[in-house]
Amino acid sequence: MNAQQLDLTTSALAQVLTFRQPADVVLSSFFRRERKLGVRDRQEIAETVFATIRHLQKIQQMLPKPHNKPRRAALAALVLGRGLSVHAVETLCDTDEKDWLVELKAHKSEFASTLTTAAELPQWMIECLQQQDWDDEQIVAYGRSVMQSAPLDVRVNTLKGKRDKILAALQAEGLRAEATPYSPWGIRFPDKPALNRHPLFLDGVMEVQDEGSQLLALLTGVKRGQIAVDFCAGAGGKTLAMGAMMAGSGRLYALDVAEKRLANLKPRMVRAGLTNIHPQRIDNEHDARIARLKAKADCVLVDAPCSGLGTLRRNPDLKYRQNSDNVAALQQQQQSILQAASALVRLGGRLVYATCSILEAENQQQLNDFLAANNGWHIEPVNTLLKSHTLSSMHSDYLQLSTSEHHTDGFFAAVLTRIK
C-alpha cells in the first residue's frame, strides 16, 4: 500500500465504520466518485477496508471509536489482517503511529485469550450463541471460519450443460476450478477469478451461487411440470436453480416485495433460457394477488429475510449492523411469512423454510413455533433427502451448514410435507 492508497482507505473507512450503510454499498459509491483509480488501487483499498472490519474487535480494544481515527484503523488492518510487519508499514507512519502499532502487536496473547477478540465477534452475537449453548471453542471456531473471504462458487445450469464437461473446459483454460463436494451442480474457484464476462456466464451456462444456496434449491425437490413458488425470490438465485430442476416446464412464481430485486431476476432468466418463471411483486405476504395460488403449489420455498449472520465471510459488517432488537423484529416477520406461504402448499406438497442465519431464534425456533400453531405438517429429515449428495453425515432433521465444517455460507433449511 502506498501513501495515496492509505489516504483513500482512510476516507472510505471514515464512512464504512459508522455502519450506517452496508460496506459494499459505501465502497461502490466511493469508487464511483474516485473514477481515476486503477484496478490495483481499488483492490488495495477494498481489501484493507474489509480487513479492518474483520479485525475490528482487536482494533477497538486500542481505539474505542475507530470511525473517529480511521487512519489508525487502516494501519492496524495492514498489520493484523494483511500480513504486513510493522517494519513494512513504517514508511507510511509517523513516530506515534509506529509506536502505537508496536503496542497493538504486543497485545497478541491478550487478544487470543479474550473471547470477543479471539472470535472477532461483538458481544451481542456472543451472547446469542451462548444462549443456544455454544461453548467458547465453538464460538471461536465459527468466528475464525468466517474471517476468510469466501471462494467463488458457480452453479452449472443443467438446461445448458453438464458439470463435468464444463469443469473440464474451465480447467483446460488454465483456471483453478474443482467440483463442489455437496452440490451436484457446483464448481468452486478458490482464486475468485472475474467471470462476469466469461462466455459460459454470458450464455447462461453458469451462474454465481454459493454451494449452500444450491443445496437449498435441491431440497425443494421440485420437478418438471409442477407448480412451485419461491416466496422470497429476491434477485432469483434459488429461483433459477429451481427453474432448471423443472427443466423449464411447469410454473414457477417468483414473489418478492422488492421490485428492484425482482428486476434483477429478469435478465438472469433470459440468460438461463428459462421461460417458466413468473416474477410477481407483492405488497406483503398477505397480498390478495397470491390468493389464487392457495393450496395449489407442489412446492413453496421460503428463503426468509434474516440477519444474514451465516454470510459473514462475504458481509463481515453485518455483525456490526445487526443487533438483538433487529433479530427479534425479523423473527416476527419470518413467522408471518412462513404462515402465509404455507397456505399455498397443496395436500402432499412441500414447504421449505430456509435462512442464511446461524441463530436458532431464526431457524429451529421458527419451525417449532410454526409446528406448534399448525397441525397437518410432517418434517422430512434432511439427511434422507440429501443422502445421495454426500451430506449423509448430517444427523439432524434440519440442514445446518457451517462455514467451518462445510465451507459454505451458514445456511439453515427445514423441509415439511403437508399431510392434512
Using the rule CB under 6 A, which residue among 258, 324, 343, 417 binds ligand SAM?
258
155 within 8 A of 183, measured Cβ to Cβ: yes
Q: Any contact of residue 37 with ligand SAM (CB under 6 A)?
A: no
| Burial of residue 381, with CB atoms counted within 10 A of its CB: 0-12 exposed, 13-18 middle, 19 or more buried | middle
Using the rule CB under 6 A, which residue among 234, 250, 310, 349 binds ligand SAM?
234
d(CA 363, CA 385): 19
Which cell goes with 150? 469466501
Please give the annotated binding residues for S-adenosyl-L-methionine, written as ranges. 256, 283, 303
Query: Residues, the chain, total?
Result: 420
Query: Stretches 48-56, 119-127, 244-252, 281-289: which one binds ligand SAM (CB under 6 A)?
Result: 281-289
Q: How far is the CB of 300 from ligand SAM (least distance, A)?
A: 11
Cβ-Cβ contacts under 8 Å for 337 (sequence gap 6 or more): 231, 232, 285, 302, 304, 305
Query: Stretches 164-172, 228-236, 289-297, 321-329: which one binds ligand SAM (CB under 6 A)?
Result: 228-236
Q: Say which amino acid occupies 48.
A: T
Which of residues 284 and 368 has its CB atom nearest to ligand SAM in the complex?
Answer: 284
Q: Any contact of residue 169 with ligand SAM (CB under 6 A)?
A: no
Q: Any contact of residue 261 with ligand SAM (CB under 6 A)?
A: yes
**Strand 399-400 with 186-189, pairing:** unpaired
Q: Any contact of residue 303 with ligand SAM (CB under 6 A)?
A: yes
Query: Stretches 75-83, 196-204, 232-240, 384-392: which one binds ligand SAM (CB under 6 A)?
Result: 232-240
Query: Stretches 12-20, 229-237, 271-279, 309-317: which one binds ligand SAM (CB under 6 A)?
Result: 229-237
Using the rule CB under 6 A, which residue among 100, 231, 320, 398 binds ligand SAM?
231
Q: Any contact of residue 305 with ligand SAM (CB under 6 A)?
A: yes
Q: How far is the CB of 333 from ligand SAM (least distance, A)?
A: 6
Q: Any contact of residue 219 with ligand SAM (CB under 6 A)?
A: no
d(CA 196, CA 50): 22
Burial 173-183 (b: 16+ CB within 10 A, else e): eeeebeebebb
Using the rule CB under 6 A, which residue among 56, 255, 277, 299 binds ligand SAM?
255
Residue 379 backbone phi and psi in degrees, to 5:
-80, 130
Query: Which residues pair with residue 299 across a beta bridge?
Result: 228, 350
Q: Any contact of residue 126 with ligand SAM (CB under 6 A)?
A: no
Q: Any contact of residue 115 with ligand SAM (CB under 6 A)?
A: no
Residue 373 backbone phi and psi in degrees, to 5:
-95, -10
Using the rule CB under 6 A, which residue among 56, 92, 154, 235 binds ligand SAM?
235
Q: How far is the CB of 156 from ligand SAM (least distance, A)?
A: 17
Cβ-Cβ contacts under 8 Å for 209 (sequence gap 6 or more): 153, 154, 155, 186, 237, 240, 241
Query: Stretches 54-62, 85-93, 282-290, 382-390: which one binds ligand SAM (CB under 6 A)?
Result: 282-290
Binding to ligand SAM (CB under 6 A): which residues in 179-218?
A: 213
Mark whether 306 is an active-site residue: no
Per annotation, catalytic residue among 93, 299, 306, 356: 356
Q: How far is the CB of 214 from ligand SAM (least distance, A)?
A: 10
**Strand 412-418 with 377-380, pairing:** antiparallel
Helix (H, G, I), strand (E, B) or coil at 253: strand
Q: Any contact of residue 337 with ligand SAM (CB under 6 A)?
A: yes
Which of residues 111 and 353 has its CB atom nearest to ligand SAM in the complex?
Answer: 353
Residue 264: DSSP 8-state? H
With CB under 6 A, what is the number of residues at the site for ligand SAM?
19
Q: Any contact of residue 368 with ligand SAM (CB under 6 A)?
A: no
**Strand 345-355 with 297-303, pairing:** parallel
Cβ-Cβ contacts under 8 Å for 242 (sequence gap 6 or more): 217, 220, 222, 228, 230, 252, 299, 301
Angle at which helices 39-54 and 23-33 pack, to 10 degrees? Answer: 150
Q: Any contact of residue 257 with ligand SAM (CB under 6 A)?
A: yes
Q: Which residues bind ligand SAM (CB under 6 A)?
A: 213, 231-235, 237-238, 255-258, 261, 282, 284-285, 303, 305, 337
The catalytic residue positions are 356
